[in-house]
Structures are given as C-alpha cells and as structure tokens.
A and B are shown apart, each in its own frame.
Chain A
Amino acid sequence: MKKTILTGIATAALAFSASAEVKVGNPMAVTGPIPDLVAPMVLAVDLAAQHVNEQGGLFSDGQKYTIVRADSGCDPTAAVDAVTKLVNVEQVSAIIGPVCSGATIAQAQSVTIPAGVVTLSVSASSPAISSLESGTDLVFRTAASDAFQGKALAELAIANGITDLAISYANDDYNAAIAAVFAANYEMLGGTITANEAHEPDKSSYRSEVATLGSGTNNLALFAYYGSSGITILRNSLETGAFDLFFGADGMAAQEVIDQIGAENLGNAFFTTSTSDQTTNAFGAWKAAAEAGNVPAADPFVPNSYDAAFMMALAIEKLGSGDRSGIASALRAIANGPGEVILPGEFAKAKSILAAGGSIHYVGASGPQDFFNNGDVAGFFSKNTVVDGAWSAEIIK
C-alpha cells in the first residue's frame, strides 16, 4: 500500500520535473568491481553539468541540463536494465557512459542502437567497440581504444631498452585486451616475452604467479587494476625479489599505489595512461576547474568523463533541442569543428557563439576529442613516473 502511494508520488515528481530541462542518462558502475575508480568520474560528470547550468543553462530560456544517474554495475544485465529504464521511462536524449566495455557493448547492442539513442562512453576501451556498428552512427567514446595504447606502450618499452619481459594481466575484458595488443606489438618490434599469464583479480596473494613469471626476467609488464590485484602483485614481487622494473597501463596510475608501495620502490616504474597532454591550455583550464570543484584532475578517465558530459551539453545546445535523432551529427560538429576553440568550462562563450550562428570546436581535457568515422578518438598517452611522491606525466609523442 505504502509502495503504491510512494510510486504515485514518485511518478508525479518525475512528471513535474520533466518540464523545463533536457535529460541525459548516465549509467556508471557505481556498485560493482571498480567503485573507487568510478567515484571521481561521477564527480567530474556532475561538475560538467554544474558548469553548464551555472553559465546560463541550455537554449535561450535557460533550461536545466539534468544528468540522470543509473547503476550499470560493470555488468551487462544490470547495464541493459538501467539503460532500458533511462531510455524508455526517463526518456533521456542521450546516454553518457557506461564505464566498462562489456556493459557498453551489451547496452548498445541491446537497447540504444535499436532505439536510435546516442551512447557516448566515458572509458570503454575495448577494440571491439570500433567495429560495433554497421550502418548506424550512434556509439562514440571519449577514451582511446586499447589498440592504440598497447602499441604505444610496446614502443615505449623498446625505446627504454627493455629487451625481455614477463606479462601478467588481470583476467577481465580491459586488461586482457590491452595485454594482447601489447604482446603482439612488442614481439613485432623484436622484444622477447618470457612468460604471458593471466591472473584472477581479488586474490590475497600472488606469490605463486610471481614466482612462475619471475624466473626468466627482471622486468614485469603489469596490466591490472590497482585495487583488485595490482598493488598486491607489486608487493609480492618486491618481497620475493622477483622483479625490479614495473610498467603497464591505466588502472595502476593512482596515488594509492605510491602510498602503499612506497615511492622509493617505484623509482624506475612507469605506467601509461590515456590522459592528455597536461601542458595544453585545455588541461590547464580543466585542472583549475577540477581543483575548484574538489575533483581529482588526473585520475584515470576523470577528464574523459568531464569531456563527455560537457560535449553532450554543447551538442544539445547546437542542436537546439533534446531530439534524439539529431544528436549524433551535432556531436560530430562540435567535437571535430572547424570553429572557434572552446576549452573545458567555457560554456557561456560557446553558447553565445552558437546563438550568433557560428561554429565551435571543443578541445577536451583528456585530448582533442575529434571523432573518427566509427566514433573512436585518437589516443594521447602519457608516461607516468613517480616524482616526489606523486605521479608525474610526460606526454609520449
């Protein structure tokens, strides 16, 4: 009985608030295997919405840019259910998210592509997404595909004089994919891989894996999330002396790794992340805004999340309405340009240019964010090393 009354009020509340706003769905893996990675990404999305609403809102009547959050849990079933609700019940104009590649692929194939709704993923990096669509143009992402990062990391390893190494990757979709690309490219460039093994995440000790891998070499290529296995593997390797040089990709470049392992042990470690050139104006603008909003500016995929939410607002502003069918082309127009350069946080400037009939070209905090034909973006990768107890990034050209 109570539930019925609550539903009634809830639906009434939903209906009421539907009047002067444009809603965008945001399924994120709030619960699930990576909540600590996702929490700052959520803050970044909200910060983008806050900037838009503070700087005059959408369209000439200042409509509210509302982010409707849902929980995709990094799980295809939950993601499909969450996005079904967002698309059908909340009637959102577009989807920003999800976080995990598996969830993104499932919800795109199951819900958004059939329904004609744009999906702009904040961090899905599986190479499979590049070839997801045929005939439609609805899936975009602000994070570069693993296919690029694996190659860049392999080149970096060879350039650093690493001639032999062992690979350990967490057996999930992201890390397995990037490890495979890395291994293929590294061998093509002439390196020797002495061992290439998956490990199951969330184990309390990886001594046996480390012992098996460590027999042939001192160099470890580690593809894992820091919270679920990365830190433990580093610790076990240092304790048993199996490896002394570590490198790898996104997922390990977090402050917690330095805090737990110690900067002195990570002297020659480096991890690539798909963040941007931090010397650009765009990143500078983002960093200032992030610090003002208490959002960690350089954590994995946080700038990409801001970019996605901000670009969606710019696309809706350009389109002039929340109509689902026009969003894809509007998104390409504001992202690829040509037009006046817009940096993160400059919504008011963009709005006045668009109102006067001009064009804009958004340059994002995590990279130029110009979409290819299949909705991918180019990768700028930075090499992160430990300097003075914190990660310091150096762009790889």
Chain B
Amino acid sequence: MDALIGYFLYFLSLLSVGGIYALLALGLNVNWGFAGLFNAGIAGFAAVGAYTFSLLTTAESTFHYGGLGLPVVIGEIAAFLIAGIIAAVIGIICIRLRADYLAIATIGIAEIIKLIFKNEAELTNGPRGISKIPRTWEHFSEARYFSSQPLSWFGDSQSWQAFFDSLVNWWWQPLFAMTILFFVFVVYIMLEKARLSPWGRMMTAIRENEVAARAAGKNVTKRRVEAFIIGTMIMGLAGALLAQHLRFIEPTHTFDPSKMTFLVWVMLIAGGSGNNRGAIFGAFLIWFVWSASELFLNGFIDIIGNIFNGMDISMLKNRSGYLRMLLIGLVLQFVLQKYPKGILPERRPAASGE
C-alpha cells in the first residue's frame, strides 16, 4: 500500500514539475511560436519571478531583504508583473535585433540578472539563497499563517495545529499539483483565445513576412514587444511556482541555463513550436523522460548485473548520471529526426471564406 502511495506521490511530483515546465514552454511559445523571437534568456526571467515571489512571501529574515510575509497569491501576481516590467525595459531596447542577435542578447541578459541576484547579497543573501519559501496549500500548516487572518477567523492556533497534525503528511501534494495544472489550464485557454483572435493572426503575419505586415500598416515593433512581454510574464509566473516547489532558491545552480533555458527549448521544439498543446505535451514528455530515466537506468543496470553474474556493475552505477544525459540526448535526436516540426505541429486556423 505504501508503495502504491509512493508511486502516486511520485506521479504528482512529475505533474507538478512538468506543469512548471509547461508554463515555461507556453511562455516561450508566445515568444518563439507566435512572434518568432529567439528568447534564450528563460532562466533569467524565471529567476526574476522566483526571487520576486520569495522576497515578498518569506518571513522576515536577517539574511535577505524583503521577507514581507505577504500572501502567496500576491507574490505570484507580483512575480508575473515584475517579470513583465523587466521584459518591457529589455524588450524596448533589444527588440529590433534579428533572431540570432536577440538570442545572444537574451543569453547575456539572463546571466546579468543571475549575477545581480548573486552579488546583491544584502538583498537576496547572494549564493546562499533564500529558504523557507512558503508552498501553496502546505503554507496553511505553518504557524505564522494559521495564527493570523484569515485562518484565525475559523479557529485558534491550537485547533488548527491539531487539525493539520491529524492529516496524512502528504495531504497538500495533490492540491499543489492541481494548482499548478490549474495555472497551466488558464494560461492555455487564454493563449488559445489569443492565437485564434485577430491579434494572433497578426502575430503570425509578422512572423512569416514582416515586410508585408509592415506594408499593411501594422506596428511591428509594438507587437513584438507585446509578445515578448507576455511570454516573459508567463515565465515569471512559472519561476514563482518553481520557487514554491523547491522551497529554496539560489542563483548559481537552480537557474542553470542548461537545465532551464536549453531544456525548455528542447521541450518546445520537440513538442511543436507554434502549437500551445505541443508546448504542454513536449514539456510533460521531456520531463517524464528526464526524471524517469534515472529509474529506468538503475533498473536496467540491475538487470544487466543479474544477467552477467560475474560483472562488476558498480562501474556502471557510478556513471549512471552521465549515461542519463547521454540517453536524453539520444531521445532528443530521435524525436527531432522523426518529427522535424515537433510532435504536434502548428495548426493554422482556416482562413475565413474557405
């Protein structure tokens, strides 16, 4: 029974992290799939969202500034907005750059953002990171939440403490996973509406043939900046959710470009750029493969050890971390060879009158 619950909880964690990556991929889809902007600074914008959320919602601390202890929803909204403000500043400066140059600029910007967080140690505790970040639903069981409004209206500290102690220790996990999936769903619906709207058609026109769009009188620069801002706002929100999932963030390893920027690009391209469903599907698929590959490999190495009884498998086991990266690369190669446009390619809405 414990084993079944264990598998269920692991599945929930796959959904949670997959959902966070799905949000990142949806944000990237707005930048790349809708508007053709090569945004390679995903890690930086996610970091902005994560740090904004953390500084606003953690308890007061001598290690870092902020710690205002605001409700998590306000933290998420703030992450969303502040990522947008920073994207606006960057977008207005960089948006005229062509594809590759925008990529270089955004990589640089992401690194600058991370270095700012790393070096402003009074503000963010530098490389030592911010811990005890409250996690939606689980945060209710922390004393500082149930002893203040609004939960204090429904009972006093003792009764709340007793209530939370009586729950099974993973009670918040399904709720947290569903919250993330809810965010993914809402963002998906809104982006689908945007894609099928005149705005979406205009973005496709700008992406496919900018000169013609300009000739038709569209303000291309303004649209591009809009797409950039919207995409990065979604990435900021995903960063806030990531901070909640990890409950601890730091600027060096958490927002590593290879795990965040590169992986999200892989998810979008493999899933199908331009297609919102493709973005979500690609995110869950690649994350499932990434996470479950550790289990596959260990089981596989065990089987090899059992088949060849004399072989010393410890050498393989110690290298399984690297074997896993090789496996991910191979999977990516396979998917991209077989589905060059992504597994769920872009579907253009039918032109009216056909």
Contact residues of A with B, CB < 8 Å?
3, 6-7, 9-11, 13-14, 17, 30-33, 39, 42, 46, 68-71, 73-78, 80-82, 84-85, 87-89, 91, 100-103, 105-106, 109-110, 114-116, 126, 128, 132, 171-173, 176-177, 198
**Residue contact B291 to A173, C-beta cutoff 8 Å:** no
Contact pattern, B 64-93, Cβ under 8 Å of A = 1, otherwise 0: 000000000000000000000000000000
Residue B341 at the chain A interface, CB threshold 8 Å: no
Cα–Cα distance between A17 and B291 once the two chains are bound (Å) = 22
**Residue contact B291 to A81, C-beta cutoff 8 Å:** yes
**Residue contact B10 to A91, C-beta cutoff 8 Å:** no
A14-B299, A30-B318 are contacts. A71–B294 as well, Cβ < 8 Å? yes
The residue in A88, A101, A172 that gathers the most chain B C-beta atoms within 10 A of its C-beta is: A88
Cα–Cα distance between A335 and B292 once the two chains are bound (Å) = 36
- How many residues does chain B have at the interface if contact means C-beta atoms less than 8 Å apart? 56
* Residues on A with beta carbons closer than 8 Å to the beta carbon of B17: 77, 81
**Residue contact A78 to B259, C-beta cutoff 8 Å:** yes
Contact of A31 among B5, B132, B314, B322 (CB under 8 A): B322
10 contacts between A and B (CB under 8 A): A30-B321, A31-B321, A31-B325, A42-B318, A76-B248, A89-B295, A91-B6, A100-B253, A106-B131, A172-B252
Cα–Cα distance between A132 and B119 once the two chains are bound (Å) = 23
Additional 15 contacts, C-beta under 8 A, given A9-B299, A84-B9, A115-B169: A6-B300, A31-B321, A69-B318, A75-B256, A76-B246, A76-B253, A80-B246, A87-B6, A102-B248, A106-B131, A171-B119, A172-B127, A173-B129, A173-B252, A177-B128
Cα–Cα distance between A74 and B252 once the two chains are bound (Å) = 10
Residue B7 at the chain A interface, CB threshold 8 Å: yes
**Residue contact B296 to A10, C-beta cutoff 8 Å:** yes
Residue B308 at the chain A interface, CB threshold 8 Å: no
Cα–Cα distance between A4 and B126 once the two chains are bound (Å) = 44
Residue B249 at the chain A interface, CB threshold 8 Å: yes
A-B pairs with CB below 8 Å: how many?
148
Contact of B320 among A17, A46, A71, A102 (CB under 8 A): A71
A81-B291, A171-B127, A177-B128 are contacts. A46–B252 as well, Cβ < 8 Å? no
Contact pattern, B 283-310, Cβ under 8 Å of A = 1, otherwise 0: 0000000011011101110110010000
Determine the residue in chain B with the shortest Cβ distance to A198.
B119
- B256 smallest CB distance to A (angstroms): 6
A76-B250, A77-B259, A177-B128 are contacts. A13–B138 as well, Cβ < 8 Å? no
Determine the residue in chain A with the shortest Cβ distance to B63.
A128
Contact pattern, B 252-282, Cβ under 8 Å of A = 1, otherwise 0: 1110100100000000000000000000000
A91-B2, A106-B246, A115-B170 are contacts. A13–B256 as well, Cβ < 8 Å? no
Cα–Cα distance between A7 and B300 once the two chains are bound (Å) = 8
- B166 smallest CB distance to A (angstroms): 15
A14-B299, A31-B322, A177-B128 are contacts. A77–B7 as well, Cβ < 8 Å? no
* Residues on A with beta carbons closer than 8 Å to the beta carbon of B6: 87-89, 91
A13-B306, A46-B314, A82-B294 are contacts. A176–B127 as well, Cβ < 8 Å? yes
